């Protein structure tokens, strides 16, 4: 679907001012260096200023205090922060184009399930017994929503999301395709004969408001009580969250990271890609964990940056890396000194 916007309309949405043709029209976005007629771009980084004078984009968002040094041939919209305004515009566009409403005849919805106004439930979605779904929720085709699940207002479940029984999802959440919430935690008791006896997992998963969960990410139900993902958490694709884990508000975690059972990660932490966190650890608020790190012990001091496996202070880690890269030079120097020492001793 091709949706067109004029410069005057965009300026009104963003609280900006038009400098150029208010009738200039766009229907898609592009990087300023790849601009073409009908495209909207933005200029936020000073090193890209030279592209403004040659871009073919029909409209470019610029900061209010930007002063051009050459003639600008495109229409500019001045806003307080061009990058933030661009993100805001993308969000408005996405909301406009994804504004699906209605219940498919091919959806399977239990008779005692409840859902609010303006919901969308796509073809072949399954909604279990006693499910409660809020207003403006979008459940795309082939989603599974188990018994006693609760979903808050304005939440989106993209195709193929699976919510096991008793999972609770807050408001304004986005869960991407292939995510599985509420599968059994990995609980087994070793037996004398070398086999394993399964420990029933009877808890659930609680997800707060304004949480985003990436594609193919899995969050296990707790053995008892709840696995908790608090408000504002952002989880990338391909992440594993084990049973009884708790992740604090506004923590962000990149792809291919994993947290073992009963670990607690604090608020406003940043976890880079491919990080492993051992079970039953506590990670303090505002901790930053570098990529491919492994935590074998907790972090008690808030605001620390760590890296490595096992992870330790980031600054010390970087110094150690420099030393490691100089090992060959040091080895040659030691060999040379030993040679000179042998010569002196032989005399």
Q: Specify the 3-state DSSP secondary structure of 101.
A: coil
The position carrying tokens 């000179």 is 340
Number of CB atoms found within 10 A of residue 213's CB:
27
Give one DSSP letter per residue of 279-335, joined into a string: TT-EE-TT-EE-TT-EESS-B-STT-EEETTTTEEHHHHHHHHHHHHTHHHHHHHHH
168, 176, 243, 264: which is the annotated catalytic residue?
243
Looking up tokens 């010569």 gives 343
Rounded distance, CA 276 to CA 296, Å? 9
Q: Is 264 a catalytic residue?
A: no
The b-or-e profile of 3-40 (16+ CB within 10 A means b, else e) is eebbbeebbeebebebbbeeebbbeebbebeebeebbb
Residues marked as catalytic? 243
């Amino acid at each position: 679907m091709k949706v067109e916007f004029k410069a005057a309309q965009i300026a009104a949405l963003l609280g900006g001012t038009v400098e150029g043709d208010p009738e200039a029209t766009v229907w898609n976005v592009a990087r300023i260096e790849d601009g073409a007629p009908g495209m909207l771009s933005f200029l936020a980084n000073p090193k890209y200023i030279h592209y403004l004078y040659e871009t073919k984009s029909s409209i470019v968002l610029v900061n209010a205090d930007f002063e051009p040094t050459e003639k600008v041939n495109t229409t500019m919209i001045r806003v307080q922060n061009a990058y933030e305004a661009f993100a805001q515009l993308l969000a408005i566009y996405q909301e406009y184009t994804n504004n699906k409403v209605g219940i498919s005849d091919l959806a399977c919805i239990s008779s005692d399930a409840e859902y609010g106004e303006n919901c969308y439930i796509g073809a072949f979605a399954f909604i279990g017994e006693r499910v409660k779904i809020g207003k403006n929720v979008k459940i795309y085709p082939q989603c599974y929503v188990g018994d006693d699940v609760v979903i808050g207002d304005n939440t989106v479940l993209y195709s193929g999301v699976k919510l096991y029984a008793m999972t609770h999802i807050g408001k304004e959440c986005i869960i991407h395709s292939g995510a599985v919430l509420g599968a059994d935690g990995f609980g087994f008791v070793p037996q004398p004969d070398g086999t394993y006896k399964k420990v029933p997992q009877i808890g659930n998963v609680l997800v707060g408001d304004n949480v985003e969960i990436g594609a193919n990410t899995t969050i296990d139900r707790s053995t008892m009580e709840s696995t908790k993902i608090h408000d504002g958490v952002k989880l990338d694709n391909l992440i594993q969250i084990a049973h009884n884990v708790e992740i604090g508000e506004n923590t962000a975690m990149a792809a291919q990271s994993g947290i073992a059972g009963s670990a607690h990660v604090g608020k406003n932490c940043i976890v880079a890609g491919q990080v492993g966190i051992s079970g039953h650890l506590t990670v303090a608020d505002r901790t930053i964990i570098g990529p491919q790190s492994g935590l074998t012990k907790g972090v008690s001091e808030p605001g620390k940056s760590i890296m490595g496996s096992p992870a330790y202070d980031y600054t010390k880690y970087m110094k150690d890396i420099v030393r490691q890269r100089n090992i060959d030079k040091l080895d040659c120097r030691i060999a040379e000194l030993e040679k000179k020492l042998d010569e002196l001793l032989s005399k």
